Amino acid sequence: MSELTLARAKEILAKHTTEDHLFTHAVAVSAAMGAMADHFGEDKEHWEAVGYLHDVDYEKYPDEHCHHVRELLEPEGVPEEDIRTIISHGYGITTDEVKPESNIAKSLFTVDELTGIVQAYALMRPEGLDGMAVKSLKKKFKDKRFAAKCNRDIIKQGFVMLGMEAADIMQCCIEGMQAHKEELGF
């Protein structure tokens, strides 16, 4: 079993996912995870790969999300620690199997929903992700009607888990997604 690479993550996700919006979400979470890896001084590509692959079972099993990760990833030779990290992003939401305890797991748990708010805000701005300020994003975050499907309680729980300021995590998400804006369609 070798370390999960971004190229391998893309190959695996393509076997289990067909919907464009899920690939866009994979890119957004991957980008945010890369920025979080930089923040923690960790392996950026590895964190991006885990972020890209995090919803591997979502399209096939939307009502059992995170319950089929192992059966899809073990045969692909994905390391056990990465499988556990991916399962943990559903902790308290779809599963209680694995609690996010490492920085990579806590980051995935947090940015999964947060990227949705960043993306929604970028879509309504003429300049997209360019020049997006944390202060403005915080205002959108506080407006429960904006990107209403993004669960703020989960994101706030993630902020606490990580022990970081909301603004710092938001900044990581924005910067990570800005670096991949073409791939995200901005």
Q: In this predicted structure, what is the pLDDT of residue 97?
A: 85
Enter the pTM of the model.
Answer: 0.95
Integer angstrom CA distances of residue 94 from 62, 110, 134: 10, 15, 29
Beta bridge partners of 39: none
Q: What is the pLDDT of residues 120-170, one digit of tens each?
A: 999 999 999 999 999 999 999 999 999 999 999 999 999 999 999 999 999
Tokens linked to 76: 């692909």
Q: What are the backbone dihedrals phi and psi of residue 110, each rounded to the nearest 5 degrees, phi first?
A: -80, -50
Residue 2 above 80 pLDDT? Answer: no
Q: What are the backbone dihedrals phi and psi of residue 62, each rounded to the nearest 5 degrees, phi first?
A: -60, -30
CATH number of the domain located at residue range(s) 6-181 in this protein: 1.10.3210
Q: In this predicted structure, what is the pLDDT of residue 109?
A: 97
Q: What is the pLDDT of residues 104-120, one digit of tens each?
A: 999 999 999 999 999 99
* Domain assignments of the chain as residue spans, ordered by start: 6-181
55 neighbors 30 (Cβ within 8 angstroms)? no
